[in-house]
Amino acid sequence: MPYRRLGKINFQAGILGLGAQRIGEPSATQAIADRVVGEALEGGLNYIDTAPTYELSEERLGKALRGKRDRVFLVTKVQTLARSDTLSQIRHSLRRLGTDYVDAVLIHNVGRDDRYPELRYALRDEGTLGGLREAKKQGMTRYIGCTSHLRPARALTVFETGEIDLFMCTLNFVERHIYNYEEKVLPEARRRNIAIIGMKVLGGPISGPGARLGSAEDRLAALRYVWSIPGVAVAIVGMRTPEEVRENLAAARAFEPLESAELDRLLARGKEMARAWGPLRGPVA
């Protein structure tokens, strides 16, 4: 497993991260979660992302990580405008995860103006960021970050606080032509040495409803694309089964950066596909 530093954070993360949303789905079980997490860690993966809104993800992940918590960089999220609610959400997450701290808490999808209609309020001391600062002071989290699925420019407003350590956003060779975080936001993240985490790297789930890049060749190309973006530390993939874990671990171990001709062909294909996908996450601006 290749490893990369998380921006200004002194941690070497495997380039493949586990998105734990899928193991929280009703169709999953604790036994499946245990196997997915166990095989991922055994393969060298050490970055796991979850959220309280991912159904049973935090509970199952907490059980799967018993005795292994110190082996991973563990990330969860909050979604609220209020300082007090932020602290309450983190406490509930810690209880479900069975740990007294997470490595990072991310403000969940700052691009949503229905969730954060007054984004700058969320960044004040009485807002979300104030709660995250207090959680950090109390030792509930070590680092602070945010995620963005749509309206890329709103992430830049959050960066202006100077308090963001990690940034997770939609990155794939199709949505490069829709949301284009690669050119709109990532240069500023690199300038500030913020750890960049790619999500939605396959456009959707690996398989089943919502899957968009269905072939193994497409999935490999999508991962190589994200890992070839300057500054990207980790690509998060939501894996449901041990077989999916093995496929993605093999891709990480075999990773070679895209050559310029390969990248050009992939982006040209992605441009065509973007016409069919459209802005599926929501508005661009």
Name 235's bridge partners: 16, 198
Q: pLDDT digit string (tens) for 202-241?
A: 999 998 888 899 899 999 999 999 999 999 999 999 999 9
75 in a domain, yes or no?
yes
263 lies in some domain:
yes
Q: What is the C-alpha separation between 45 and 42, in angstroms, rounded? A: 7
pLDDT at position 212: 93
283 within a domain of the structure (yes/no): no
Answer yes or no: is 285 within a domain: no
| Within-domain flag for 98 | yes
pLDDT at 128 over 90: yes
> Which tokens is 269 given?
């294909």
Rounded distance between C-alpha atoms, residue 6 and residue 165, angstroms: 9
Residue 214: which CATH number?
3.20.20.100
Q: Quick check: helix, strand or coil at residue 253?
A: helix
List residues bridging with 127 in a β-sheet.
82
The enclosing H or E element of 58 equals: helix 57-64
In this prediction, residue 111 carries a pLDDT of 97
The answer to the question of residue 39 being in a domain is yes
With cut-offs at 50, 70 and 90, classify the pLDDT of residue 15.
very high
By CB neighbour count within 10 A (0-12 exposed, 13-18 middle, 19+ buried), where does 272 fall? exposed
Is residue 282 included in any domain, yes or no?
no
Task: Express each pLDDT in 164-199 by its tens digit.
Answer: 999 999 999 999 999 999 999 999 999 999 999 999
**Residue 278 burial (10 A CB sphere; 0-12, 13-18, 19+):** exposed
Q: Each residue of 24-45: pLDDT tens digit? A: 999 999 999 999 999 999 999 9
User: How many independent structural domains does the chain possess?
Assistant: 1
- Structural domain containing residue 115: 3-277
43 beta partners: none
Residue 284 covered by a domain: no
